[in-house]
Chain A
Amino acid sequence: MVDVASLVDVKSGTQAKSIFWDEQIYELELERIFDRCWLFITHDSLIPNPGDFTTAIMGEDEVVVVRQMDGKVKAFLNYCQHRGTRVTSVEAGNTRSFTCTYHGWSYGIDGSLQAVPFENEFYKGVLDKSTHGLTEVRCESYMGFWYGNFDKSAPSLYDYLGDYRYFLDVWMDSTGGAELIGPPTRTLLNCNWKTPAENFVGDAYHVGWTHAASLSVLGGELSALSGNKMVPPDGAGVQITTRFGHGLGILTNAGPALLSGPVGEMARKWYAENRPKVAEKLGKTRAGYYGSHFNSNVFPNNSYLWGTNTFKVWAPRGPRSIEVFTWGIVEKNMPDEVKEAVYDMATRTFGTAGMLEGDDADNMESMTQLNRGRQIRKGRLNSQMGMGGDKVDEESGAVIGQSAVGETSYRGYYRAYREFLMAESWDDLLKTDPDAWKREFLGK
């Protein structure tokens, strides 16, 4: 049996390498993380009209998310109640029903079983249609972003995001909201699902080195970091972590990040124009964050970057490979040409042919695949950078490390990861006082 408690050492800031490889740990993750946490499924902008639907993957479960006739949104497991085939094989569309291609059972977009071919002739009254609707999945949204949850006892999405909302709002609320640009690209990576998640939650350290070449040719604010030529000065950024492992890093004023030339200017102008509005709405601190570069992850596997404007889900496919879903993310009220420029750059940097996307892949795959070796697998991972410098931030309630580069959010991510794996249920998770995690995290 796996010794779960020792997988993450919160005090010393280390993790067992086996978390990237072990089948048993993976099964436990599916049960205690993916069956329990809020998982991204769609965005309002992708299903604007009644009957619009998109498909998604939660953990390893396929779901379909549908806008109802009354404007509400429902999610269902994507399988037929008869013999279990998919009820839709496409990724998006507009429909009034889902008809299974095996024997033709038809479901309404509300999930109810509407029609069964030759129901009277063959079933002669034995089939109770009312108990054979699609299996509904709980879903809730924040600022137009829809998440699903398999656990009825989970807190609301709003509470699950908790203190993290303070930072989400910087982009997702301040200038009139955000939207996704789809469809997503879908690609394979032979890595454990946590390797990109931890990278996006808290790794500003690798940017100058892993991406040295791409940064040097792209220009924009981040290019100064290329080849580690520059140490980001004090005050250039922060590392942030919260109760359930959601975290981020902010590089102040590094907004359009990799956009140079006239399109970069266009984006910079937009940020400059909007900063005062953000100040008015969210206060001075967050106006300072607006227009900066954010690397972020909503626990467990939903990452995004503001400034480089990519939005990802790392869907686990066993412990050693993932399906990467990538959308563009933009502010709703950006003028079309700014949206386009920003989306274009998001694709150029973190899309399927993304100049930075390819850079990260080798790291994530070797971090995973090397654990094939029994000796290597026994090793531990280090995330100690910035330890001792983390403090509770009174304004947001989060824990913040005052450094543009540091591993605060890594440590917070894995602290929460351990807590989820150890807990029997949400009741178990919620029985500690809401600040207990901070004492544990800060070693007090």
Chain B
Amino acid sequence: MNKLVKVCKLGDVAPGEMKPVDVAGVKDPIAVFNLDGTHYATSNICTHNIAMMTDGYFEGDVVECPLHGGSFSIKTGEPLSFPCEIPLRTYPVIVDGEDVLIETEVEQS
């Protein structure tokens, strides 16, 4: 079952910044991006290997992996450069009042 889960509050991630978030019950570590005031969320693990995307560079709407320099669109997860070929999972983001939420399946604990 998909649910809305809170990843951060508005203002936690400044425009142009990204932030790693671990959400209870969500398997994937999440990366939250603020692109000119609009929030996006992706898996935080590079599909090429194991790196945390939030340790890399966030420029324009592209996140570049710290390890081997592969990159993805934060909007679509589409791989943009070598050596990344598998898309990065993206999550729908909803802002509810002060809260930034993503829609994802949640494990029952």
Q: A residues bordering B, Cβ < 8 Å?
A: 96-97, 99, 106, 108, 114-115, 117
Q: Given A96-B66, A108-B66, 7 other A-B contacts at CB below 8 A?
A: A96-B56, A97-B67, A99-B67, A99-B68, A108-B55, A114-B50, A115-B51
| Distance A97 CA – B70 CA, assembled complex (angstroms) | 12
B57: chain A residues at CB < 8 Å are 96
Name the prevailing secondary structure of the A interface residues: strand
| Distance A96 CA – B46 CA, assembled complex (angstroms) | 14
A117: chain B residues at CB < 8 Å are 49
| Distance A99 CA – B68 CA, assembled complex (angstroms) | 7
In the assembled complex, how far is the CB of residue B107 from the closest CB belonging to chain A, in whole angstroms?
A: 23
| Distance A262 CA – B24 CA, assembled complex (angstroms) | 69
Ordered by A's residue number, 8 sampled pairs between the chains whose C-beta atoms are within 8 Å are A96-B57, A97-B66, A97-B67, A97-B68, A99-B67, A114-B67, A115-B50, A117-B49
| Distance A14 CA – B56 CA, assembled complex (angstroms) | 57
Inter-subunit contact A114/B51 (CB<8 Å): yes
| Distance A281 CA – B57 CA, assembled complex (angstroms) | 42
Contacting residues of chain B (13-63) with chain A, CB-CB under 8 angstroms: 49-51, 55-57
Inter-subunit contact A96/B68 (CB<8 Å): no
| Distance A99 CA – B48 CA, assembled complex (angstroms) | 14
Contacting residues of chain B (56-87) with chain A, CB-CB under 8 angstroms: 56-57, 66-68
| Distance A431 CA – B56 CA, assembled complex (angstroms) | 48
Q: B residues bordering A, Cβ < 8 Å?
A: 49-51, 55-57, 66-68
B51: chain A residues at CB < 8 Å are 97, 106, 114-115
Q: From known contacts A106-B67, A106-B68, infer whether A96 and B49 are also in contact, taking CB-CB under 8 Å.
A: no
B67: chain A residues at CB < 8 Å are 96-97, 99, 106, 114-115
Q: What 3 pairs between A and B have smallest CB-CB spacing?
A: A96-B66, A106-B67, A97-B67
**Residue of A at shortest CB range from B64?**
A96
| Distance A108 CA – B68 CA, assembled complex (angstroms) | 11
Q: From known contacts A106-B67, A115-B67, infer whether A96 and B55 are also in contact, taking CB-CB under 8 Å.
A: yes
Identify which of A99, A108, A114, A117 gathers the most chain B CB atoms within 10 Å of its CB.
A114
A114: chain B residues at CB < 8 Å are 50-51, 67
B68: chain A residues at CB < 8 Å are 97, 99, 106
In the assembled complex, how far is the CB of residue B46 from the closest CB belonging to chain A, in whole angstroms?
A: 9
| Distance A114 CA – B52 CA, assembled complex (angstroms) | 10
| Distance A117 CA – B56 CA, assembled complex (angstroms) | 19
**Residue of A at shortest CB range from B52?**
A114
A115: chain B residues at CB < 8 Å are 49-51, 67
A108: chain B residues at CB < 8 Å are 55, 66
| Distance A17 CA – B88 CA, assembled complex (angstroms) | 66
**Residue of B at shortest CB range from A99?**
B68
**Residue of A at shortest CB range from B83?**
A104
B66: chain A residues at CB < 8 Å are 96-97, 108
A97: chain B residues at CB < 8 Å are 51, 66-68
**Residue of A at shortest CB range from B48?**
A115
| Distance A99 CA – B67 CA, assembled complex (angstroms) | 7
B49: chain A residues at CB < 8 Å are 115, 117
| Distance A115 CA – B50 CA, assembled complex (angstroms) | 7
| Distance A96 CA – B71 CA, assembled complex (angstroms) | 13
| Distance A115 CA – B65 CA, assembled complex (angstroms) | 13
In the assembled complex, how far is the CB of residue A115 from the closest CB belonging to chain B, in whole angstroms?
A: 5
| Distance A97 CA – B67 CA, assembled complex (angstroms) | 5
In the assembled complex, how far is the CB of residue B102 from the closest CB belonging to chain A, in whole angstroms?
A: 25
| Distance A115 CA – B66 CA, assembled complex (angstroms) | 11
| Distance A108 CA – B66 CA, assembled complex (angstroms) | 8
In the assembled complex, how far is the CB of residue B20 from the closest CB belonging to chain A, in whole angstroms?
A: 13
**Residue of B at shortest CB range from A69?**
B55
**Residue of B at shortest CB range from A106?**
B67
In the assembled complex, how far is the CB of residue B98 from the closest CB belonging to chain A, in whole angstroms?
A: 29
| Distance A106 CA – B70 CA, assembled complex (angstroms) | 14
